[in-house]
Amino acid sequence: MINTIAKLGAFNVWANETLLRRLDSSVAAGKEAPQPALRIFSHVINAQAIWIARLSGTASPLKVWQEHDLAGLHHWHEQTSQRFAELCANADDTELNRHIQYSNSQGDAFDSQVSDILTHCVVHASYHRGQVATKMREAGLEPVNSDFITYCREQSGQVVPQL
C-alpha cells in the first residue's frame, strides 16, 4: 500500500529545498532575492511551524506572516520541513483520524482531523510556492519547477535534479 501522506511530506521537503537552492544560486550569481518572494516563502515555512505546534499541543515559535531573510528561511526550513515530513511518515490510522482543536491567527476556534491538516499543509505550501515562482519571474529570476510530478520523476531517476 502506498502511503500518500508520507510521500507528500517527503515531497514538501524536496520542494522547499529545491526552492531554497534556486534562491541561493540566484544570490550567488549576484542577483538579489526578491523581497516579495521571501515574504511569501516565509509564510510557507511559518505555516509549517504553526501546524506542527498545533499538532503537538505546543506554542509556535513563529507568526503567520513573520518575515525571514534567506538565512532565516534556511534555519526555519531545517527546523520544520523534516519534522513535518516525519509527522506525515509516522502517522498511523489512529493519528490520521485524530481530531485536534485549535484557534487560527484570527482567534477563531476549529476542530480538524489530522489527515486533513497534513494534506492541507502540503497543498497550502504548493499554492504559495507557485506565488513565489511568479515573484521570482517578475524580478527577472528563473523560478524552479516544484511540481509534485517533477519530484516523482527525480526520485525515480527519470530526470536530473534541478540546480
CA distance 37 to 66: 13
Any binding-site annotation on 74? no
Any binding-site annotation on 128? yes
Any binding-site annotation on 99? no
CB 84 within 8 A of CB 119: no
CA distance 8 to 2: 11
Alpha carbon of 48 to those of 27, 71, 86, 132, 148: distances in Å?
Answer: 25, 17, 12, 16, 18
CB 150 within 8 A of CB 159: yes
Beta-bridge partners for 103: 109
User: Residue positions in the annotated binding site?
Assistant: 43, 124, 128
User: Residue positions in the annotated binding site for a divalent metal cation?
Assistant: 43, 124, 128
